[in-house]
């Protein structure tokens, strides 16, 4: 497959160019695009294309589908965790969550991660490669096909740093939003980043109104330096400045993710400092009880501490929620299933 084109990663315009180059009518591009986004496994299944065109396509292109290696279903809330195998044998994971408003998925953008956040299950496994746009997209298509339900909301917050795979993630956003494909509105998509400032500014100019989600996790550089290496490149002041530019440019509210770690970032003073940092911003804070990760040595804050932290932020006018824990019986936080799978393979 190395020298062949990945149809699932191609736009309709790219497909049109391919068809014209091979002597075919460009209107077939829409048909090919629709077939690949419906979850068809191979080119022969495109029954409204001529046999000649299908055979020619098979010589130069393929449909890069993911394989479900493992699937865990929560007995508590029905959350489903998927471990997918890619064409090169690498594995990634995705999570399906059911809410009152419908189904949401949390998907991965890379195989591994370069960012090294100390509380993350992806840290320590190493970075392998970026996912192609079609590989990001097929996580949604494969899950939709598996559960036979439409996915209405997408969070790119699984394995990897989305803005470290910027071009492929932006292309994915345009593919998933296309009316002839999955047609998921940009306002129903959240893109998470640990704070790659230049890419945040670049994303603000793309005219794709996604929700930007910032993994902040600390109110000052001293704490953030210790738990998030990216902060040594882009300090909190630079990050907040970029976020303000993003909200002014897009008129979209930013979500700040804040994982509460006992004795590290969960004190009253931390809450007050965070409130001062975010004062006046178009934003929302999502408090997350930190997940237990082997070797990290972090413990989640108590319910009482989380409630007090939330109260302080709200007192200062900052809209705050505490993330509802889903799939706790299947370790639904991204990175944990892949980490366990990789450990099993080593042993």
Scan for tokens 């890419």, then name that residue.
Answer: 199
Tokens (6 digits) for 237: 């002041």
Tokens (6 digits) for 297: 């040595």
Residues 294-344: tens digit of each pLDDT: 445 788 899 999 999 999 999 999 999 998 777 666 665 555 555 555 555
pTM of the full structure: 0.93
13, 206, 334, 344: the catalytic one is: 334
> Cα 293 to chain center, whole Å?
20
Give the residue ranges of the chain where pLDDT is below 50.
Answer: 294-295, 346-347
**91 φ, ψ to 5°?**
-125, 145
Tokens (6 digits) for 229: 């290496």
Residues 80 and 330: their CA atoms lie apart, in Å, by 8
pLDDT for res 213: 98
Bridge-based pairing of strands 110-111 and 129-130 is: antiparallel
Residues 19-43: tens digit of each pLDDT: 999 999 999 999 999 999 999 999 9
Judge whether 334 counts as a catalytic residue: yes
DSSP string over 39-73: T--SGGG-TTS-HHHHHHHHHHEE----EEEEEEE
pLDDT for res 289: 87
| Cβ-based neighbour number of residue 347 at 10 Å | 5
93, 135, 161, 257: the catalytic one is: 93
Q: Give 208's strand partners.
A: none
Helices (H), the chain: 12-21, 28-37, 51-60, 133-147, 166-177, 197-203, 221-227, 236-250, 268-278, 303-315, 336-346
């Amino acid at each position: 497959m190395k020298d062949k084109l990945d149809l699932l990663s191609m736009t309709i315009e790219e497909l049109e160019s391919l068809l014209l180059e091979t002597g075919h009518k460009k209107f077939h591009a829409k048909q090919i695009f629709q077939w690949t986004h419906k979850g068809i496994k191979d080119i022969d299944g495109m029954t409204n294309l001529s046999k000649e065109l299908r055979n020619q396509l098979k010589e130069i292109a393929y449909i890069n589908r993911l394989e479900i290696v493992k699937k865990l279903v929560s007995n508590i809330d029905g959350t489903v965790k998927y471990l997918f195998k890619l064409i090169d044998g690498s594995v990634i994971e995705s999570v399906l969550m059911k809410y009152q408003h419908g189904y949401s998925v949390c998907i991965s953008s890379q195989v591994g991660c370069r960012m090294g956040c100390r509380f993350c299950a992806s840290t320590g496994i190493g970075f392998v490669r970026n996912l192609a746009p079609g590989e990001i997209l097929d996580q949604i298509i494969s899950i939709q096909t598996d559960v036979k339900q439409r996915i209405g909301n997408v969070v790119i917050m699984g394995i990897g740093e989305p803005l470290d795979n910027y071009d492929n993630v932006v292309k994915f956003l345009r593919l998933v939003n296309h009316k002839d494909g999955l047609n998921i509105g940009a306002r129903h998509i959240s893109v998470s980043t640990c704070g790659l400032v230049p890419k945040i500014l670049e994303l603000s100019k793309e005219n794709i109104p996604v929700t930007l989600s910032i993994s902040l996790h600390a109110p000052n550089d001293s704490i953030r330096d210790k738990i998030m290496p990216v902060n040594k490149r882009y300090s909190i002041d630079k990050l907040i400045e970029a976020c303000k530019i993003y909200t002014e440019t897009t008129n979209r509210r930013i979500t700040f993710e804040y994982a509460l770690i006992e004795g590290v970032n969960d004190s009253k003073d931390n809450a007050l400092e965070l409130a001062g940092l975010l004062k006046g911003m178009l934003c929302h804070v999502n408090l997350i009880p930190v997940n237990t990760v082997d070797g990290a040595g972090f413990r989640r804050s108590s319910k009482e501490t989380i409630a007090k932290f939330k109260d302080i932020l709200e007192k200062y006018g900052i809209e705050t929620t505490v993330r509802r824990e889903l799939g706790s019986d299947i370790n639904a936080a991204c990175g944990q299933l892949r980490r366990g799978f990789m450990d099993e393979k080593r042993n």
